[in-house]
Structure 1
Amino acid sequence: MRRTLQRLPFLLILQGLGAAAMFAPAIHAYQLRYLHTARSFFYSGIVFLILFAFLAVALGTRGREGSTRAQLTGLVGALVLLPLMLAVPFREALGDAYIGNAWFEMISCLTTTGATLYPGEGQLPPTLHLWRAMVGWMGGLLFWVSALAILAPLNLGGFEVVATDLTAAGRTALRERRAVRPGERLRRYAVRLAPIYAGLTLILWIGLALTGTSGTTGAILAMSTMSTSGIVPGGWRGETILPEMLIFVFLIFGVSRLTFRNDFINRERGVLLKDPEIRLAAILVVMVPAFLFLRHFLGSIENEGQDDLGAAIQALWGATFTTLSFLTTTGFESSSFEDARFWSGLPTPGLVLIGLALLGGGVATTAGGVKLLRIYALYKHGAREMGRLVYPNSIGGSGSRGRRLRREGAFVAWIFFMLFAIVLAVTMAALTLAGLGFEEAMVLSVAALSNTGPLADVGGGAPILYADQGLAARVILAFVMVLGRMETLAIVALFNRDFWRA
């Protein structure tokens, strides 16, 4: 049986796991006496498990396991095709006659974007919110594992920059791990990372329960925090600061891969403090809230609210929490940050949040965006070039690792950044042709490409509803979510002839 499962296509294994996961919301709906919803998930789970068994019998005797190229194509196929299966119980439970809405909802969750067509309170039963969070959580785990097992050996997903910053021992370890068979490598990382991912989610869930958060809401928040999907129950707003403080701690796992594993780099004392992604994130989490707090403070002077110390502290905390949330492309907005609007009389600075989402989190994490390591490589290259303008004959220093990061690392980071900008411009043009205005097209394009769906609520002058967009716009956004999750370099690799010859 084990050898048969090892030979199954990657996409089929994901299909089986998705079918098995449908029984959890079936039990949840039954406990809440949403019997139609329970039947929808239970019957769908049985049907798709039977289909998985038939396909496993048919394909399990085909021979050797797939290559890394096959796993990459399977990953892309999973992001497009798997949501069709995941959407079936969602559609049946909701009674929506158009499956395209459920497909958009599931592709948004699986890519950890978190965009939704049903944002209002009471539009969805609690079980469907739980299913959305579960799909997002499974998508986050999928990319935690795939980043190291599939993208790293191909020097994709940010590892094209990481490879230039490794020591000789690290490069040797990387070559050794690439030599392992693709299927074995995928299983190895799944076994190592899944307990960490699930354990952190469970700890956060228990912590939220201790703060008074209900069981279902706490589970949804815990899963959406670890997956950086930003999925919340309809109309939910935090009532106290304690849940936000807990979530803030666990959002740090979206900043750097070194927070949950060493990833080919020899661990030394204080390695987290030396990590460029963590240092860059710390600078942003300090400077951006300071700017936002000063902005609200100046606004409060005009509204004669400068003597309200409690409101000032809430505004500072709200800005700090919201900054880290959008930097990791989660998209939670602090309730304290919303209160700061009334204190200062100023709206949310959407352009700042758009910039944070574009920067994104760490390489090999569940966060989207350009990624902090690429930004750091471009910064080091720019600082060196500015120094050469003043001292043309100076020596850069920092050793061979620093020189590789400033040259090869910055070069591939610049290529990715330009591809990212081109895709963003093309998406905006396509959405404009689909009937959207410039501001709506810009906000939704950034939200989809950076996998920060909640950005639509705060990025523009007024909240933008995905449900108000036409069919063409939704299809464009859905495929851009996949492109943003896979990253443009991985998609370009699929069209490279040398990639298929290797």
Structure 2
Amino acid sequence: MTLARASRVQREATPALDLRPIAATLGTLLTILGASMLLPALADFRAGSGGQGAFVGSAAITIFVGVLLTVSGRAGGRLRLDLRQAFLLTTSVWVVLSLFATLPLMWGPPHLSFVHALFESVSGLTTTGSTVMSGLDAAAPGVLLWRAMLHWFGGIGIVVIAIAVLPALSIGGMQLFRTESSDRSEKFLPRAGAVAKGLLTAYVVLSILCATGYVLAGMPLFDAVTLALSTVSSGGFANSDSSISVFANPAVDYVAIVFMLAASLPFPLYVRALGGDVWKLFRNSEVRLFFAIVAAFTVASFLQQVFQGVAEGEPALRGALFTVASLVSTTGFMSVDYTNWGPLSDALFFVLMFLGGCTGSTAGGLKSLRLLIAMKAVRQHLKRISYRNGLFPIRYGGAPVADDVVASVLGFIFLYIATFAVASALLSALGLDLRSAVSATIACLSNVGPGLGPLVGPATTYANLSDPVIGILTLVMLLGRLEIVTVLVLTLPRFWMR
């Protein structure tokens, strides 16, 4: 067979990528996004701030493009997604929605440049919480509401993708999560539509409870609603440059702690809890590891404050618990400036930024499930060295874990660290000091938000960084939220061929 004939046969055997399901899905989501822009427009109209025109114009364009894509995508009748389409759609959703979410940020107050507006919208939808905006205390209510809404939309989107898409793509051990959730004895709801409805119900209930808690703690209604959207989504956008510390209210701190930790737990377990199986939430080994991490880092941070003379008693414990909950949940709220607690705290919190919450939650980071599997893999390896003829299967939830799942977890951890190293090196090459470069990278990769130090710490913004640095961090946020592999696979020529 000649080379030309072989190439022709390969082209004939490789089906073209059908973009219609992707266009239809993107169109539907854009239509929803555009319609939601009318809420901030209404908020600005009622406040008389004059920013409603930008939101109305942005809504009109977004809805028009959304309807156009929906109609063109559904022209061929009912469509289904295959594996290649799922990969492409997963990335396209975050990129396309982020682009349209920039429109009101550029056309109305705060009139950001495209680079800064894209950074802000990506930070919102990926629930990172890094910001280039300042003067939030005097900002129009529409902009504040829009930022919180981006968090909330991104949070529920993350949960759905984590449950429905990533397990099918076998990314970083997510197939184990699919196995646990899809086994007949473990399946929490029988149909995909019911699954989505159950997850959304749990998400909405948690959001309402959080907003109610903030109101009861003495927070104004508007702040309570917007901060609840940011808290439950593990986002971190606040209505003040001082974040939650502006309220100086211990009750607000404790409400935030409870719901930041709650948002870090697997949402499928909440669905089971709504169905009556409450104890399932506390019997889960990933959840137990997560709370063990929270307890250990809280004790270490508390002792650090006491020994350094920073604080003592209840304020020290509350500050430690709030900061640990904020970082491990990748929310990024600030009640105290923890960068002033000394180098030991910097080291503790830097490690904490890597860890993240649980699988199937709105939190980012490596996730406790992967850490658990990696620790079991190391333990298995050590046992095999000591007892060469022994059998030591890795188990999770009482069931054995396949070798391909372990390999997927270890491969993902390697990619995560490699991405962190490359991005940190690029930022250093662009002129950032090492502390700012590495902390900004992990803060965006784990979707935490604030980094460490005076340049990117919790008491400042990313506005003073150059456009190339902002561009790299924007990409890093997307990589972190989309689990890296989802994006990197699109760069392989073989993906587009087969």
Q: Which amino acid aligns with 2:435?
A: E
Query: Quick check: 1:470 aligned with 2:466?
Result: yes
Aligned to 1:308: none
Compute the displacement of 1:333 (Å): 2.8
- Give how far 1:41 is off: 1.2
Deviation of 1:334 (Å): 3.1
- Give the structure 2 partner of residue 259 of structure 1: 269
- Aligned CA distance change for structure 1 residues 72 and 477 (closer, same or farther; 3 Å): same
1:247 aligns with 2:256: yes
Question: Which residue of 1 is the match for residue 372 of structure 2?
Answer: 376
2:39 maps to 1:24: yes
Alpha-carbon distance in structure 2 between the residues aligned to 1:211 and 1:400: 39
Deviation at 1:248, TM superposition (A): 2.1
Aligned to 1:50: 64
1:239 to 1:401, Cα distance in 2 relative to 1, 3 A: closer
CA distance in 2, matches of 1:130, 1:63: 37
Give the direction of change, closer, same or farther, for the CA distance of 1:148–1:168 in structure 2 (3 Å limit).
closer
**Structure 1 residues 348 and 25: CA distance shift in structure 2, 3 A:** farther
Partners of 1:168 and 1:210 in 2: how far apart? 41
- Distance in 1, matches of 2:457 and 2:97, equals 35
Q: What residue is the counterpart of 2:14 in the other structure?
A: none
Whether the 8 Å CA contact 1:22–1:42 is kept in 2: the answer is yes
Partner of 1:134: 149
Point out where structure 2 has 5 or more consecutive residues left out of the alignment: 1-19
Provide the residue aligned with 1:324 in structure 2: 325
- Partner residue of 1:420? 416
SS of the residue 2:48 aligns to: coil
Equivalent pairs: percent with the same residue? 26
Which of 91, 96, 103 is 1:76 aligned to? 91
Shift of 1:168: 6.0
SS in 1 for 2:102: helix
> Amino acid of the residue matched to residue 421 of structure 1?
I
Structure 1 counterpart of 2:463, which letter? A
The answer on 1:159 being equivalent to 2:155 is: no
User: Which is worse superposed, 10-19 or 56-65?
Assistant: 56-65
State how many pairs are aligned. Answer: 473
Taking the TM superposition and a 5 Å limit, the aligned residue runs for 1:213-292 are 213-235=219-241, 236=243, 237=245, 238-251=247-260, 252-262=262-272, 270-292=279-301
Paired with 2:39 and 2:320, the residues of 1 have a C-alpha distance of: 36
Contact conserved, 2:445 with 2:479, CA < 8 A, in 1? yes
CA separation in 2, counterparts of 1:165 and 1:396? Answer: 21
Matched, 1:207 2:213: yes
Report SS of the residue matched to 1:261: helix
| SS of alignment partner, residue 112 of structure 1 | coil
Q: CA deviation at 1:188?
A: 4.8
**SS class of match (2:334):** coil
- Tell me by how many angstroms 1:487 deviates: 0.8
Cα distance in 1 for residues equivalent to 2:456 and 2:112: 31
Separation in 1, partners of 2:62, 2:183: 47
Q: Counterpart of 1:135 in structure 2: which amino acid?
A: L
Deviates further, 385-394 or 405-414: 385-394
For residues 394 and 58 of structure 1, what CA distance do their matches in structure 2 show? 59
C-alpha distance in 2, partners of 1:388/1:463?
49
What is the alpha-carbon distance in structure 2 between the residues aligned to residue 164 and residue 287 of structure 1?
30
Going from structure 1 to structure 2, the CA distance change for 1:131 and 1:9 (only over 3 Å counts) comes to same
Q: CA RMSD in A?
A: 3.3
Q: Secondary structure at the match of 2:347?
A: helix
Q: Is the 8 A contact 1:253 1:260 kept in 2?
A: no
Per-residue CA distance 1:368-396 (angstroms, 9 max, x = gap): 11111000011112223334455555553
> 1:166 and 1:50 mapped to 2: Cα distance?
38
Task: Tell me the amino acid that sits aligned with residue 318 of structure 2.
Answer: W
What TM-score, normalized by structure 1, do the two folds share?
0.84
Q: Tell me the SS of whatever aligns to 2:108.
A: helix
Match of 1:455 in 2: 451
Segment drifting more, 81-90 vs 5-14: 5-14
Letter in 2 for 1:231: F
The one of 85, 90, 96 aligned to 2:100: 85
CA deviation map 1:234-273 (0-9, x unaligned) = 223142121222222222231334432359xx99784333
The 1-side partners of 2:385 and 2:276 are apart by: 36
Of stretches 266-275 and 103-112 in structure 1, the one that deviates more from structure 2 is 266-275
CA drift of 1:297 comes to 1.7
1:480 to partner: Cα distance: 1.0
8 A contact 1:158–1:364 mirrored in 2 = no
The reply on whether 1:293 has 2:286 as its aligned counterpart is no
Task: Report the CA distance between 1:414 and its aligned residue.
Answer: 0.9
Q: Which amino acid aligns with 2:280?
A: V
**What SS does the corresponding residue of 1:94 show, helix, strand or coil?**
coil
Distance 1:77-1:333 versus aligned 2 partners, 3 A rule: same
Deviation at 1:83, TM superposition (A): 1.7
Q: CA deviation at 1:191?
A: 2.9
* Contact 2:42–2:52 (Cα < 8 Å) also in 1: yes
